[in-house]
Structure 1
Amino acid sequence: MSNTFLAASYHWRNRYLLMRHGHSQANQQALIISSPGRGVEAFGLSTIGEQQLASAVHAWAWPVPTQVVHSDFLRTTQTAARVAEAFKLTMTPDKRLRERSFGEWEGGSDERYPDVWALDAQNADHTTHQVEAVSTVAARMMTVIEEWEQQCEGETILVVSHGDPLQILLTALQDRPLTQHREQPALLPASITQVGAP
C-alpha cells in the first residue's frame, strides 16, 4: 500500500522513506491525539502497531536507511526506534514532523476528521475550530526535507511522521493543490512511501 515517485522538476540529492507510525493506542481508541501535551508522553504504539513494526523490520523491502528523523510524539518515536534498532542507527527528533494540530477536536472522537478534511478541500489556509492550516503543515514538513537536501547527499533518510502531515507533504512534493491532500489513497499505519533519488 506504499508508493514510489519522483518530483520530476527536482534533482534530488537524497532518498526519503516517508513512514507513518504504526497502529497506535489513539487509533485503537478512535481518539484525536494531536497536542504535544498528550502525544509526546502517551498514546504510543498498540499491540497491533508493535506487530506491524516487527513484521516490517523482519521483511524489510526498502533501501536500508542511513538516517532516522522523527516526530517526537510517543507513537512516532517508538516506530522510529524499532527501525533504528534494527539497522543500528541513531535517531534525530524533529518537532516540525509532529501531528497536525486539530485544535478544538483534540482528545475527542476521530469521527471529526472527515469534517476537517471537507473544509481542507475548500481552503488550505482555514483554521476553523483552531485546526492547524494545511498550508502551515506543508510549510513545516517541506522545510525538514529542504534542510536535509542542503545538509547531505547520497543518504537514505527514514522520516517518521503522522498520516495527515505526510499526505500533505506528498501533495506538496507532487506540486498539487494542497486542497487535494485527501484525494490520494490514505497512508496506512506503518506504511512507507519512497520519494527522492532512485
Structure 2
Amino acid sequence: MTPTEPATRPGGPQAAAVRPPLPVKMVVAGGFGVGKTTAVGSISEIEPLTTEAAITEVAAGVDDLSHTPRKTTTTVAMDFGCITIDPTLKLYLFGTPGQERFGFMWDDIVEGAVGGLVIVDTRRLDDCYAAVDYFEHRRIPFAVAVNAFDGKVEHSLDEVRWALDVNDRVPLLVFDARERGSVRDALLVVLEQALARTQA
C-alpha cells in the first residue's frame, strides 16, 4: 500500500472513522466540607480545576468547621474534572460550592446536567437538605452518597433516608470520596438513574 492509499482492514472495507465519546454533564453537590472536591479529584483523569480559597477568620465564623477542623480552604465557585467511562461516554463533572451564600450559582452549574450526586456527611445531615430539595424540585435524577469519613458513618442508610425524607426510588449508598473506584461506582448509579428516566 502506498502512502496515498486509504487504510483498509485486510479483506474488508475501509475502516470506519472512530467517533469521539459522547459528552455527558453531571453535578456533584452537597453541603460544606462533605467531600465534593475530594471526589472530583479522586476520579478525574485530568488535573481537576478547582476554585479553592483560604478560609478566612470571617468565613470561619460563618461556616461550621467543628467536624472539619483541618479544612483550610473552601470552594468558592466550582470544581471541574472529567472521566472517560468507556469509548462511547465521557463524564464532565461539575462540583457545586457548599455554602448557602453561593447558592445563586447553582442554576448555571446544573444547567444541562443529566443528573447529580448529592454527597452527605451523616454528622451534619442538615447541611445537605438544600441539595436534596434542589434536585427533587427540578425533577433531576440524583443519588445520595454517604461519605464514609474515617471509614465509618454515624447513622444507617435507613436512618439517613428517613431523616432526609428521600423517596424510595432515589438510590442511597455509602462511598469513600478518596477512592477512585468508590466514586466511579457512585457516578454509575446516577447514570443508571438518568437512563431509567430517559427510557420512562
Q: What is the TM-score with the length of structure 1 in the denominator?
A: 0.28
Higher relative contact order, structure no. (Cα contacts within 8 Å, ≥ 6 residues apart): 1
Structure with more helix by fraction = 1
Q: What is the TM-score with the length of structure 2 in the denominator?
A: 0.28
Structure with more strand by fraction = 2
